[in-house]
Structure 1
Amino acid sequence: MTEFNSKNFVELYQTLQGQELWRFLNTEKAIIQMKTASDLNKPALLGIEKDLLRSGLMQTKEQIESLGIDGKIYDRTKQMLGAMVRQIMESEGYKLHSKNMRVVTSSKIFYAATLYREIEDKE
């Protein structure tokens, strides 16, 4: 596992949650789920959303209000999560295909997410 290039999220990445998110995303299971979602033409984040919720690393939009979580930090954490996923997906041979794909109806966490495509070998 390489270190997260956290240039825009230095303080947030240094928190316990930031470190735990990075470890979670670098597990073999999470990587397979993100790649599978991408291969099925879905944003990579949707492949790991259920596990993010089950693990308690992320909460639903509704939970943040009842738990008193700062909405700005929650949104910033989602942005960092997207940057982390991008770094991992690119290291796995995928490239960004479409940014800000609306996922409102199918996601309990995200409003929009990024779609990745596997880079095809050209011989």
Structure 2
Amino acid sequence: MEQIDFDLSGLVYDPQHFRELAETDLGQAIQKFMTHPINVVRMQTATELERVAVEPLGKYLVKEFGEDVIDDRVKQMIGHIAKQIMEHIGYQHDRKSLQITRPGLFSSGSTYRNDVKSEMRITKEQREAWLKNTAQSPFNKWLDEQVRTDGKLDLKKLYAVAQQHGVMKRYDHLNPGQQRMNIGVLLRKKVKIEA
């Protein structure tokens, strides 16, 4: 599993237009809450899943602060703090005002991206070329028979097949399709399937 590593020691929140709220007891407590390592990991995890960074914090904020965090100005400050935290630990602001479809404290918020890692994007053309040239290859048929249940990819089975053939590398930080693709590339070098 990839180690999540960040250092918040040099972070000093600049409240800008939230100064009056940030200087209250509630504002100070929210800043402390937001910089707690567990909450930073929650924001990182949401970001890796291409979700709004503050989305997973909602229920914990309500549990900790009650109705005080329902106020729009407070939620805006939370988003402002989140932006500074995410940028401090190496993420770049990606999109703002992204709608959150699940009911919760936040109805919209910002997403971030981490340019340190190369982001894997598959274009429509690449997907079509793969479907045309590779999807039904003997190797892919062989692998899919072992790792799919009712047409759905089973990651446990995928990594079990990989281990059987000496592939130990894991790609848990990627989505399931990307994990299947990377493991497939490594297995192709080790397993020869005749047409």
TM-score range, shorter chain: 0.7 to 0.9
Paired residues of 2:47 and 2:111 also in contact (CA < 8 A): yes
- Say whether residues 1:101 and 2:98 are aligned partners: yes
Q: Which residue of 2 aligns with 1:90?
A: 87
Quote the Cα distance in structure 2 between the aligned partners of 1:17 and 1:54.
Answer: 14
Identity of aligned residues (%): 28
Q: Which residue of 2 aligns with 1:113?
A: 109
Q: What's the RMSD between the two structures over aligned residues?
A: 1.9
Q: Residue 76 of structure 2: which of 74, 79, 86 is its match?
A: 79
Paired residues of 1:86 and 1:96 also in contact (CA < 8 A): yes
| AA partner of residue 5 (structure 1) | D
SS across alignment from 1:113: strand
- Structure 1 gaps of 5+ residues are 62-73
Quote the Cα distance in structure 2 between the aligned partners of 1:97 and 1:43.
Answer: 10
Q: Quickly say closer, same or farther: Cα 1:78–1:60, change in 2 above 3 A.
A: closer
Quote the Cα distance in structure 1 between the aligned partners of 2:53 and 2:88.
Answer: 14
| AA partner of residue 26 (structure 1) | T
Q: Quickly say closer, same or farther: Cα 1:54–1:5, change in 2 above 3 A.
A: same
CA deviation profile, 1:13-56 (whole Å, cap 9, x unmatched): 00111000100011110000000000001111012122112212
Q: Quickly say closer, same or farther: Cα 1:48–1:58, change in 2 above 3 A.
A: farther
Q: Which residue of 1 aligns with 2:54?
A: 45
Q: Residue 65 of structure 2: which of 34, 56, 63 is its match?
A: 56
Q: Which has the larger radius of gyration?
A: 2
Aligned residues: 109
- Structure 2 gaps of 5+ residues are 1-8, 119-195
Paired residues of 2:86 and 2:112 also in contact (CA < 8 A): yes
| AA partner of residue 85 (structure 2) | I
Q: Which residue of 2 aligns with 1:21?
A: 30
The one of the two structures with greater contact order (alpha-carbon pairs below 8 A, sep at least 6) is 1
Q: Residue 11 of structure 1: which of 11, 16, 20 is its match?
A: 20
CA deviation profile, 1:29-84 (whole Å, cap 9, x unmatched): 000000000000111101212211221255675xxxxxxxxxxxx11111111110
Q: Quickly say closer, same or farther: Cα 1:13–1:60, change in 2 above 3 A.
A: closer
